[in-house]
Structure 1
Amino acid sequence: MEKRAAEPESIQKKIDSLAPWFHNLHLPNGIQTAPEHFLGDFPAYKWQELAIGLPDNLAGWTALDVGCNAGFYSFELARRGAYVTAIDSNAHYLRQARWAAEQFGLAEQIQFCQRQVYDLAGDTDSYDLVLFLGVMYHLRYPLLGLDIVTQKARRLFCFQSMTLPGTEVFSGTDGRRFDERELLCDAGWPKMAFIEGRFADDPTNWWVPNHACIEAMLRTCGMQVVSHPGHELYICKPDPSTPGCAQGWNRHEYETAIGHERRASKQCFFSGEESDDW
């Protein structure tokens, strides 16, 4: 016997029980999860920008959606044929996402996991496509998070962050001297503003980078920006000619930061002794 579709009243009741929603999902029966969203029809309008830069057919691709929230982007990737691993640290959002995946008939294509960004450092898995949208500025340790997730992308890496106003880029940052520090105040110098306390009533909003900073950080993570499909959106691909710092000269610091280096070899040296590690 065919499973009978749920009545609109029961669907709405379930939506209400799972509130509040940050993703406004348009369910198959036309009901929306957050029709009065303060950002409008979010994140549908952001997806319309991002989708232009992604292949229409993702059959055979694996994708990682970091900070998946209620699953909007995961659902869109699955509709294009991708098998998606979606992670979020918030159990409430994951309950929404798992329920919505059933409504869309996409539960078999998406694996939802409660994980932090930093947990990915211990994985050997990589993915054809990685989404890192609206996450970095919520991280206390943003560049470590970016180092970790960029290494998971084999083909494409999609990034989005809240940014400072302006798109200026100061191109001559390399090789400057201590007595040239006034250049750091130039509008186009790569920089991030630090937030103490709440910003937009959210204590996890720690950083706001400028456009130049985002591009510079992505480059140091081994990524090449290939397009800007919309405001604050960056589509990248791995740059084999320029490996990220975490895989190059800064590998020891990175591996110590994620706990690998010192778990593998924990040594102490007395005065006068030398270690090749330093």
Structure 2
Amino acid sequence: MQAPPNLAERQAELDALHWWHSFDFGGGLAAKGVKTPAVVTAEADAYFAPLSLAGRDVLDIGTWNGYMAFDAERRGAARVVATDHHVWSLDWTHGRRPFDLAHRLLGSRVEGRQIDVPLITPDSVGRFDVVLFLGVFYHLFDAPTLTRQIAGCARDLMIVETHHDALDVTRPAMIFYPADTLNQDATNWWGPNPHCMWWLLRECGFGRVFYRDHPHNGDPAGANFRQRGIYFAFRDDAAVARLATRTDDWHDLGEASARAAIFSQPGQPPASPPSPRRRWWR
């Protein structure tokens, strides 16, 4: 019988892979990711701490190594489906291998599906209480169209985390990045401002939208502040009541004071809440 690998061999297996997320698997085993343990822990708390995930089903789109999917499971989600395609198709990221290894070491029941974002619909993956759309929006050439499509997979809540730009523009706006002009990454296409994201999520059928700054946005007085943001888009008040345990860390964008704080420039009146439009194709 072959002897089980020792700790050094198991750690070497982890170290041989590229990790975006850091993991502590216990027993002295850890994956050292680009995102440090402090960063992934703070991000997970920002997404999940105000929510009750117990018994819920969760869809994590663009999961990469799966940290947020595994953390949703740890926090009591009854079913978690983690999807990726781009990252899992690349040689330099070692494809899906880091996700599968983390899955094994954690003894997880998360379901992994390799499916590209344009193919994600309620028919292809189903509908979920919570949809995680974290760090994906700005990588999509057809970002508004695909956001509306994926919104159909969310029964109650869609959490969107995105890069921001056009923060000095007082109207809903997005900046387009041709080629690799943002961070030398040709997969970065768009930089929306918070005003744009609010209107877009409202048009996608979410009646209550809350905002919070990314936990690592830095000094509020600094030039780089609010370059990333998190949106909690609920279908309605009943969905808020079902899932949110508290909202004190969030800005309710349905309130004029919150909109003034997040995306109105000095001297500009806060925007009025948008009404769902009547579209000619309905």
State the TM-score, normalized to the length of structure 1. Answer: 0.71
- Counterpart of 2:41 in structure 1 is 44
Amino acid at match of 2:105: Q
* Alignment match of 2:58 (pick from 63, 76, 98): 63
1:164-179 alignment runs, 5 A limit: 164=165, 166=167
1:228 pairs with 2:211: yes
1:248-259 alignment runs, 5 A limit: 249=279, 251=281
* Per-residue deviation, 1:99: 1.3
- Counterpart of 1:115 in structure 2 is 115
Amino acid at match of 2:14: I
User: What's the secondary structure of 2:150's corresponding residue?
Assistant: helix
* Per-residue deviation, 1:124: 6.5
- Counterpart of 1:256 in structure 2 is none
State the TM-score, normalized to the length of structure 2. Answer: 0.70
Deviations 1:172-229 (A, max 9, x none): xxxxxxxxxxxxxx72211100001212121100001111111111111011344324
May I ask how many residue pairs the two structures share in their alignment? 222
Please give the alpha-carbon distance, in whole angstroms, between the structure 2 residues aligned to 1:118 and 1:251: 21
- Counterpart of 1:126 in structure 2 is 127
Superposed CA RMSD in Å reads 2.7
Please give the alpha-carbon distance, in whole angstroms, between the structure 2 residues aligned to 1:5 and 1:105: 17
Please give the alpha-carbon distance, in whole angstroms, between the structure 2 residues aligned to 1:94 and 1:160: 22
Amino acid at match of 1:10: E
More strand by percentage: 2
Structure 1 stretch 24-33 or stretch 66-75: which is displaced more?
24-33
Amino acid at match of 1:120: I
- Counterpart of 1:32 in structure 2 is 30
User: Aligned pair in 2 of structure 1 residues 148, 250: CA closer, same or farther (>3 Å)?
Assistant: farther
- Counterpart of 2:101 in structure 1 is 99
* Per-residue deviation, 1:251: 4.9
User: Aligned pair in 2 of structure 1 residues 165, 187: CA closer, same or farther (>3 Å)?
Assistant: closer
User: What's the secondary structure of 2:72's corresponding residue?
Assistant: helix
User: What's the secondary structure of 1:146's corresponding residue?
Assistant: helix
* Per-residue deviation, 1:11: 2.2
- Counterpart of 1:215 in structure 2 is 198
Amino acid at match of 1:11: R
**Structure 1 stretches lacking a partner, 5+ long:** 167-185, 253-278
Please give the alpha-carbon distance, in whole angstroms, between the structure 2 residues aligned to 1:95 and 1:190: 40
* Per-residue deviation, 1:7: 3.1
1:200 pairs with 2:200: no
* Alignment match of 1:85 (pick from 56, 81, 85): 81
Contact 2:166 2:174 (C-alpha < 8 Å) held by counterparts: no
**Structure 2 stretches lacking a partner, 5+ long:** 89-93, 215-228, 238-273
* Per-residue deviation, 1:157: 1.1
Contact 1:126 1:152 (C-alpha < 8 Å) held by counterparts: yes
- Counterpart of 1:190 in structure 2 is 172
Deviations 1:19-70 (A, max 9, x none): 2x111122223433225x3677432221121122221x422x2110000010
User: What's the secondary structure of 1:27's corresponding residue?
Assistant: strand
Please give the alpha-carbon distance, in whole angstroms, between the structure 2 residues aligned to 1:101 and 1:124: 20
* Per-residue deviation, 1:17: 2.6
User: Aligned pair in 2 of structure 1 residues 133, 14: CA closer, same or farther (>3 Å)?
Assistant: same
Please give the alpha-carbon distance, in whole angstroms, between the structure 2 residues aligned to 1:51 and 1:30: 26
Deviations 1:147-184 (A, max 9, x none): 11111111211110001264xxxxxxxxxxxxxxxxxx
* Identity %, equivalent residues: 26
Please give the alpha-carbon distance, in whole angstroms, between the structure 1 residues aligned to 2:4 and 2:76: 24
Contact 1:221 1:243 (C-alpha < 8 Å) held by counterparts: no
User: Aligned pair in 2 of structure 1 residues 145, 13: CA closer, same or farther (>3 Å)?
Assistant: same
